[in-house]
Structure 1
Amino acid sequence: MQIFLKFRYFLVIMALVSCKENQKKEPKNVPGSTTEKVLEPQTETETKTILFFGNSLTAGYGLSTEEAFPALVQLRLDSLGLDYTAINSGLSGETTSGGLNRLDWVLNQKVAIFILELGANDGLRGIPLDETRQNLQSIIDLVQAKNSDTEIILAGMQIPPNMGQDYTTEFRKIYPDLAEKNGLRLIPFILDGVAGIPELNLPDGIHPTAEGHKIVRDNVWEVLKEVLGLTES
């Protein structure tokens, strides 16, 4: 008798489960039904995007994408349980002009934090400083016009004195000037502690090794953590 009662309870439970499954599946078979949309769970928070917009440094030239500093930043975000997705939008050889031309496509997604790392290739090619400055300003303007809530972090850059000391000095000043003018947070020199150190760079002497990218990550994190509202980490 006890076994029979248990079996009856089992049949009742199975019938209830079957009814619930049929109720869930049925709206999908009704043409034009909006029930499915109503039943979708609504999340109060969405994963926020941190977009790294730069050149070969951001892209991780000579390394796997996982070794480049944007991926290393993502690992740190994950370790802290922060709901952010880091997107690597680095393109080797990119100039400020090239970055400006592809910016509209990149901004099709909503961006919470935009880290701008461009200009080094301009400097190495001797592009007029006014042109580099204006292109960076135009990129900043477009990002802010797309979403005024986007936090922009400007990555400062320095170049060797190949183009003369005056050019080199004025190039370095572009970044703090733009940061002050636009009220942006500034990474003073993204390659601080890496540039000029042979063991932290690839044989070309320009692009960081995997170990070098760890230092670049730390340079970025020093400023990024303030934007994220972190006091320590």
Structure 2
Amino acid sequence: MLAFLKNAVLGKLIVGAALGLSLSLAATANAYSAPKTVLVVGDSLSAEYGIARGAGWVALLEQKMKSEKIDARVVNASISGETTSGGKARLPALLGQHKPDLVVIELGANDGLRGLPVPSAEANLRAMIAAAQAQKARVLLVGMRMPPNYGRAYTERFFGMFQTVATSTKSPLVPFMLEGVADKPALFQQDRLHPTAQAHPIILNNIWPTFEKMVKQP
């Protein structure tokens, strides 16, 4: 009788352990199979200013992920005219609402065009990255250059800011999102500031290699 009781208890323990292991494995599988959320916080360059809906690089990014069988949804929280201070103010609510796995920060151009102090923009970008990382989200920083008429000292300091921030926060960086676009006037709208729809596939090609590595990480 004693032996029977011991075997019964042992059997229950084994079944319980097996059930616990099964639930744990199922939870892990669900965590990896759940679609990722990508949050893009940018300005007019990401908000499809002056072009048809669905023609901008963010929409093209979502299409690219679908074609690559990457299970992820994109939340485009970009606003035309946005500055780093505006992005910093909006980001906490966006993080709480969408709980992104990956945050793409494409801000700074409007700070530069307005001649705002580079240290202020740098501090805002750092704060945004810190907020995202505190929520366990990975961050991709997208850099920008200023036109040469802003003066060599300012343009170099502005461009270097992105690398400085990326290095210190251990965030991957796309150095210049308009690489291959900025030197081609035909790829800009009449305001000479905003790219045409034809330029956005090039912008995506600049961002995709770094983004792909990040979004495919477990």
**TM-score (structure 2 length as normaliser):** 0.82
1:121 maps to which of 110, 123, 129: 110
1:175 matched residue in structure 2: 162
2:119 matched residue in structure 1: 130
Distance 2:214 2:127 in 1: 22
The structure, 1 or 2, with the larger RCO (C-alpha pairs under 8 Å, 6+ apart) is: 2
1:154 matched residue in structure 2: 141
Letter in 2 for 1:75: Q
Q: Secondary structure at the match of 1:90?
A: coil
Distance 2:133 2:53 in 1: 28
1:100-111 matched pairs, under 5 angstroms: 100-108=88-96, 109-111=98-100
2:133 matched residue in structure 1: 144
1:218 matched residue in structure 2: 205
Q: Which has the larger radius of gyration?
A: 1
Distance apart, 1:65 and its partner CA:
2.8
Conservation of the 8 A alpha-carbon contact between 1:59 and 1:65: no
2:81 maps to which of 74, 89, 93: 93
Letter in 1 for 2:59: A
Distance apart, 1:154 and its partner CA:
0.5
Unaligned runs of 5+ in 2: 1-26
Distance apart, 1:51 and its partner CA:
1.1
Comparing 156-165 with 121-130, greater Cα deviation is found at: 156-165
Distance apart, 1:123 and its partner CA:
0.4
1:198 matched residue in structure 2: 185
Q: Secondary structure at the match of 2:191?
A: coil
Distance 1:104 1:175 in 2: 21
Aligned length: 187
Tell me the C-alpha RMSD between the 2 structures: 1.5
Distance apart, 1:63 and its partner CA:
1.2
User: Which stretches of structure 1, 4 residues or more, deviate above 2 A after TM superposition?
Assistant: none
Q: Secondary structure at the match of 1:56?
A: coil
Letter in 2 for 1:174: M
Conservation of the 8 A alpha-carbon contact between 2:88 and 2:124: yes
Deviations 1:140-189 (A, max 9, x none): 111112x12x1110001101133321011100000011111111111011
Question: What is the percent sequence identity of the aligned residues?
Answer: 38
Conservation of the 8 A alpha-carbon contact between 1:196 and 1:205: no
Letter in 1 for 2:83: T
Letter in 2 for 1:80: E
